[in-house]
Chain A
Amino acid sequence: MSHWIIAPIVLPAVVAPFILMVIRYHRDLQRVFSVASVVALNLIALVLLTQTMDGTISVYELGNWPAPFGIVLVLDRLSAMMVLLTTLLALAVVLYAIGSGWDTRGRHFHALFQFQLMGILGAFLTGDAFNLFVFFEVLLIASYGLMIHGGGATRLRAGVQYVVYNLLGSTLFLFALGTLYSVTGTLNMADLAVRVAELPADDTALLRVGAVLLLLVFAIKAAVLPLHFWLPASYANAPMPVAALFAIMTKVGAYAILRMYTLVFGPDVAVTEGLIGDWLLPAALLTLAAGSIGILGARELGRLVAFSAIASMGTLLIAISLFTPQAAAAALYYTIHSTLTAALLFLVADLVLERRGGRLTPTPPMPQSGLIAALFFAGAIAMAGMPPLSGFVGKLLVMDAARANSQVWTIWAVILTTSLITIVGMARAGSILFWKSHDRSVLPPEAMTDEDDGTPVAPDLAPEPVPGLAFVPVFALLVALVVLTVLAGPVMRYTEATAAQLFAPADYIETVLKRPGS
């Protein structure tokens, strides 16, 4: 019996209470255990990934109860990839949080961080719809705790909106699950797939409601217009390292859509025909548009990056909403890119915020301005989908995959136009942040430099030197983007195999339900 599959859930679930119980007053010990846990998670994720390389699907029956009666965890290519992506991101974020000192600005950062990881990893691994709900709850409540980490009136207010809106989503999740269970009598995803396919054609209305409600739940998590309203304020006001971790949270929604609507309500399922693609594609296009418009109109750096996260979710969901293997492979590549890029930009935003505040108005130059400018430039390039970073490759892949769709011209036009808006918006922000600060004529009088010694005078923004450790994870993310670009070929081979596995769910179903292979 291999217990590797559950390790990503149990490890943080044990480390977090341990931190809480034993070392809650010891900052350094918390850091050591938190980082050690994340490193171990990365190793576990690598092991899991190698297990799926040959297309194997592994099932872990919790409590030794067979599916569909107990809960199962399922490891396939998709979940292994998402787990590894999460743990990599987590490593960068936890190092940054320590390096920047963010983890000490409130209580229980590391415990909440571990719980958050547990929730996210559990959501990627579970094969049970209700268990998915539980993990959504875990990640929601933990993310709320992280979001308001450090306190402050604005942040707490944004936190209330975040948690209330997402609780609406949770309620909807329960409605959806209740509906699906009352119709099909099961909660296991593989079993759902079997039963949905067997459903009589003259009794579809309720199941369709359940299916679409579920999609809406995931759409909230994925920040699809018009269900994205929770995102801008909460990401912009969250501690930036936390927002960087949240780059994976929207992907949980995208993951769930991809999982449920290939496995259970796949494109070939007659019962739910015409439910998903019809509105998801326009909504995704609008999401992309609203995101890029938000970038151009942003007055504040955190908000700009938050909108760029929305925009990249739009691109990702365009690919997902096409529901073809090629598009899914592109979407998965874009998922990796979008997660790393959003995280990179949020961390860069934090470097800026710590030194000069986030307002997009000229201020005197900040310390280490050149280095941060270079990082922002790289992040902006990746986000706008300019070469040579992975955003360009991802964008091409998505556009290429859209070719077979009847809406191809609209999709291309929207993607290209929003790219332009993003470029203009990012260039504007970068120019204000990093160039205008050198122009004495545009600075407000009180921000001028001291005549005597030439040091910048900024009463409220005393630059706080951040030790070098904070830069390490930021550069690591950039390196990851470069690697993702250079190794686009091998990565795409993996995502294509993943997409193929997703669109041939028979294997998954047989493995989970232990039915003999056809």
Chain B
Amino acid sequence: MSLFLIAALPFLGAVFPALLIRAGRNAAAASTGAVTLLALIGLVLHAPAVLRGETVSARLDWLPDLGLNANFHLDGLGLLFAGLILGIGLLIIAYARFYLSREDPMGQFYSYLLLFQGAMVGIVLSDNILLLLVFWELTSLSSFLLIGYWKHLPEGRQGARMALAVTGSGGLAMIGGMLILGHIVGSYDLSVILQNKDLIQASPLYAPALILILIGAFTKSAQFPFHFWLPHAMAAPTPVSAYLHSATMVKAGLFLMARMWPVLSGTELWFYLVATTGLVTMVLGAVIALFKDDLKALLAFSTVSHLGLITMLLGFGTKAAAVAAVFHIVNHATFKAALFMNAGIVDHAAHTRDIKQLGGLRHLMPLTFTLAGVAALSMAGIPPFNGFLSKEMMLEEATHAIWAGTPWLVPALAVFGALFSVAYSLRYIAHVFLGPRRHDYPTLPHDPGAGLWLPPAVLVVLVVLIGLFPNVIATPIVTAAANAVTGADVYFHPALWHGLTPALYMSVAAVLGGALLLGGHRAALGIWNNLPRPEAKAIFDAIVGAATGTSRRFSDRLHNGSLARYSAIFLVFTLAIAYYAFASGTLGPETRAPLPVTAMPVLGWICLVGSTLSVVAFHRNRLLALVLIGVTGLIVSMTFNYLSAPDLALTQISVEVVTIILLLLALNFMPQQTPRESSPGRRSRDVAISVVAGLGVGGLIYALMTRDFVLPSISEYHLANSYKGGGGNNVVNVILVDFRGFDTFGEIIVLGIAAIIIFAITEAVLGSRVRARLLNRKPWSPLAGDSHPLMMVVATRVMMPIALMVAAYIFFRGHNMPGGGFIAGLIAAIAVVMQYMASGFSWATDRQRLPYHGIIGTGVLVAAVTGMGAWFNGLPFLTSAFGYVHPPYLEKFELATAALFDLGVFLAVLGAVLLALQSLARYAWQPGIASEHPMDINPERDDATQTIEGH
């Protein structure tokens, strides 16, 4: 079976339990088991070749530019781990089927489990360290889901988050390390990296790479000081603890260290980092484990301790130690998974895992007791079980390790750790199963059905068989794996009897000491409870809590919602960057002489500055401010006119009129004064920023105006081609509708959108609770007695045709003289607006038959269709055509598609302005406001006087 398929099978298979759970829990479990079995069979088919020393590989380019490729390989180490993962996986799947209760969503459980399994298999088969990282992080994620599986339990949720944070951060560190490693070697392929030991260890980047990778491995394998997440991960259902947190996932870190052993080990740094961490973890875990009353906590810390043991062995950097490490990985997986399942059985049967509430179970659960006894004795390192073999090897290797020149330190601590290990192992037997039968179990325990005891029994059988016949069962695979780890042929021949070696004495000492220690457990517990101990979870929670709180405060304070402050930051930042850009360049000389100063511009300048300053001075009075803004706008228009830009002047003045009218309408709904909101300090700060910004912009414009184009401008072309190519003398209009008609097309759309947004907001507001407030609104000041005065009505009626005629005139002359669709649209709009003003919104609306939406739409469509017309001549969008016609009795005149385009502009502008106006006017509607008459006082009418009185 292809390695791709083996790695992919669990992922693909994860779908089955999720779906088949509807067909029952057996179907879900069976499908999960079948997938795992299939992958295992695929793996076993490769076993003969791998045991012969061959490496099976499968390669597929994924992202070759990055060096991230789907390259898999299977060597002895991979085979060992994959076998453990899939084999123990099968047992766990069977066990979980009977462990989980009816309420637990089993489909989910098996899906997560398969995802995890796939990730694990992926790690051990990867031949590419980036691919390995992918699977590495996947194990963190799937383990997050599995730990939090019982989502109603706070311990589960918190344990899941803690595990994700710790192992996830380790994974991130490892990303850094792997990238550095790949950088040193020039390849991310393991098979290449493993060939380059000298290159890597000589590199100045070796230390950072090693440290980062080790952080990843240590967090995953729960090494001190990252060990604290593992006990909290025990909130997961027991099958998960047995599978992830003892047999497989936590060994991923060990796997990685073993995988990288040929290139990373052998240096002082490696020894001191890895061996020391392992030693400390081993001792610490063993000590804590003895004082835990929760069965799973005891096993969790014992796992920490054993992981430390293996880490230490890898850290020694010798081949023999590496072999011992590999062997202990196998042994630990067998007895520890069995013990976890055993703890689950006890929990299931007695409804408690608290050792204090247990004892004497041997009478009630003989079978469970037997299994637990064998596994725990193996864990303690008692012959003839497999734990004894590897522990002997560990002690043997410890005697060879010299830590900082002191040869006794490592062996002494190893014995110390082993002693505690014996003590807690025996405690598991003695305090749970031995002793008198009690009468206060939460429920009366009994041996479970075969579904629960058979899976651990299989492992226990292995524990015994490996212990008795290590060379038959374990040697081939351990040798193959150790060969892969060390990159050389190793000699592995374990035996129960080595002769009277130092290791044997140490072992005996540990067993005796451990037994004694257990005897004095009560006294030791007293001492332990009086020792100051940092509570890892409290520290972790405090750190995360502080980080969350700090982030929240920082983020909320930074984004406090004050637009004034946001704008201030914007201005200061922009000014700083712009000043830097200016100051770091060189400014060329002025190339244009300023015009002479005459009275007219000076007057205009004074008015402009005066009106602007007045706005600042009187901005609290909204109406006055608006009037002053109008003054500013007028002067700007006049300035355009003075500077020979009549088109701009016309546009500006019509825009001014329309916007001021719209703003006046809006002012209706606002208080007449703006509130005082900012402190004097704040105001002076704002003044300073504004002044600097104003001076900056002014300075920039002055600098630009006193200089010619450095290079000739494109406007020469526009002037030259306006009539010839665009058919118009007014180059401004030709630019608008022809040269840059596409810009205009966009801008009329902007205008149209703005209008329909105003409409949409109006709809939203009038559809909400605000409507009631508007209806009951009292005006700020008394209304005029005569809101629709006769004189104004008459005048606007007269003005209407004139204004429309002016609009038409402006429109048609636009192409050759100042004018055009935009200005014409505004003027036509003003003509209609006047009617609204004179006779009121309701009266005018009743007489208005064309929907403004339609006018806007028509405008845009006319412009677009005009543009598309060119397509039929095989020309690009908006290509204009023009010709001259000579009708009889009339002057010749020009027909240009540009005029049609301009018509679109006209309509869009007209519709937009009127829709905006109509929408704003709707806010003011109140019942009874509508008048059926165009003017309030009409001498012709009979009810004239009544109307006045009724007001």
Contact = CB atoms under 8 A, between A and B. Distances in A.
Nearest to A440: B152
A514 B299 CA distance: 77
Interface string B378-403: 00000000000000000000000000
B561 to A, nearest CB: 6
B511 interface: no
B558 A142 contact: no
23 contacts: A3-B877, A17-B858, A69-B721, A145-B760, A156-B761, A156-B764, A161-B561, A183-B710, A186-B713, A199-B711, A208-B582, A209-B585, A230-B566, A296-B548, A396-B68, A396-B130, A397-B66, A420-B172, A425-B548, A439-B154, A441-B154, A489-B62, A489-B65
A198 B867 contact: no
Contacts of B168: 386, 420, 423-424
Contacts of B717: 69
B750 interface: yes
A151 B767 contact: yes
Contact of B553 (A22, A61, A297, A438): A297
Interface stretch (A103-111, A245-253, A445-453): A103-111
A293 to B, nearest CB: 4
B566 A165 contact: yes
Contacts of B679: none
B876 A61 contact: yes
Interface in A186-207: 186-188, 191, 195, 198-207
A414 B578 CA distance: 27
Interface string A258-289: 00000000000001001100010000000000
Interface string A8-23: 0010011011101110
B137 A392 contact: yes
Nearest to B763: A107
Interface in A14-71: 14, 16-18, 20-22, 24, 60-65, 68-71
Contact of A17 (B148, B172, B860, B867): B860
Contact of A138 (B140, B559, B746): B746
B750 A137 contact: yes
Contact of A203 (B587, B764, B854): B587
A132 B659 CA distance: 25
A115 B741 contact: no
A416 B175 contact: yes
B213 to A, nearest CB: 13
B556 A63 contact: no
A17 B704 contact: no
Contacts of A461: none
Interface in A398-424: 399-400, 403, 412-413, 416-417, 419-421, 423-424
Interface stretch (B90-98, B524-532, B568-576): B568-576
B570 A168 contact: yes
Given A179-B704, A427-B165, A439 B760 contact: no
B763 A294 contact: no
Nearest to B165: A424
Contacts of B865: 14
A199 to B, nearest CB: 6
Interface stretch (B51-59, B319-327, B751-759): B751-759
B547 interface: yes
B848 interface: no
Q: Nearest 7 A-B pairs (CB), nearest first?
A: A151-B764, A203-B588, A185-B713, A21-B857, A297-B551, A297-B552, A205-B585
Nearest to A400: B66
B746 A388 contact: no
Contacts of A144: 757
B880 interface: yes
A442 interface: yes
Chain A contact residues: helix, strand, loop or mixed:
helix
B854 A21 contact: yes
Contact of B63 (A22, A63, A431, A488): A488
Interface stretch (B156-164, B467-475, B502-510): B156-164
A112 B134 contact: no
Contact of B712 (A185, A208, A428): A185
Contacts of B725: 65
Contacts of B760: 106-108, 112, 145, 148-149
B15 interface: no
Interface stretch (A86-94, A211-219, A351-359, A465-473): A211-219
Interface string B849-891: 0000110111111001101101100111111100000000000
Given A381-B141, A396-B130, A279 B577 contact: yes
Chain B contact residues (Cβ within 8 angstroms of A): what range? 35 or more
B786 interface: no
B138 A388 contact: yes
Contacts of B340: none
Contact of A492 (B65, B707, B874): B65
Contacts of A68: 714
Contacts of B739: 63, 65, 69-70
Contact of B860 (A13, A62, A423): A13
Interface in B710-731: 710-715, 717-718, 721, 725
B644 interface: no
Nearest to A155: B764
Contacts of A493: 65
Given A62-B742, A279-B577, A492-B63, A106 B175 contact: no
A223 to B, nearest CB: 12
Chain A contact residues (Cβ within 8 angstroms of B): what range? 35 or more
Nearest to B149: A435
A279 B174 CA distance: 29
Interface of A: 1, 3, 6, 10, 13-14, 16-18, 20-22, 24, 60-65, 68-71, 106-108, 111-112, 115, 118-119, 122, 130-131, 134-135, 137-138, 141-142, 144-145, 148-152, 156, 160-161, 164-165, 168, 172, 175, 178-179, 181-188, 191, 195, 198-209, 211-213, 216, 220, 226-227, 229-230, 232-233, 271, 274-275, 279, 290, 293-294, 296-299, 307, 329, 370, 377, 381, 386-388, 392-393, 395-397, 399-400, 403, 412-413, 416-417, 419-421, 423-425, 427-428, 431, 434-436, 438-442, 488-489, 492-493, 496
A107 B183 CA distance: 56
Given A64-B875, A182-B704, A431-B160, A412 B179 contact: yes
A207 B66 CA distance: 38
A427 B134 contact: no
Given A13-B860, A62-B876, A296-B552, 5 more contacts: A10-B867, A112-B760, A175-B700, A208-B581, A216-B574
Contacts of A18: 857, 861
B64 interface: yes
A400 B67 CA distance: 10
Contacts of B580: 212
A226 B573 contact: yes
B173 A293 contact: no
B822 interface: no
B268 interface: no
A61 B741 CA distance: 12
Contact of A393 (B68, B164, B749, B753): B68
A342 B544 CA distance: 25
Contact of B752 (A17, A61, A198): A17
B169 interface: yes
B555 to A, nearest CB: 4
A406 B709 CA distance: 38
Contact of B707 (A151, A156, A206, A395): A206
A452 to B, nearest CB: 21
Contacts of B134: 387-388, 392
B697 interface: yes
B920 to A, nearest CB: 15
Contacts of B218: none
B107 to A, nearest CB: 10
Given A70-B740, A156-B761, A428 B585 contact: no
Nearest to A413: B176
A423 B580 CA distance: 38
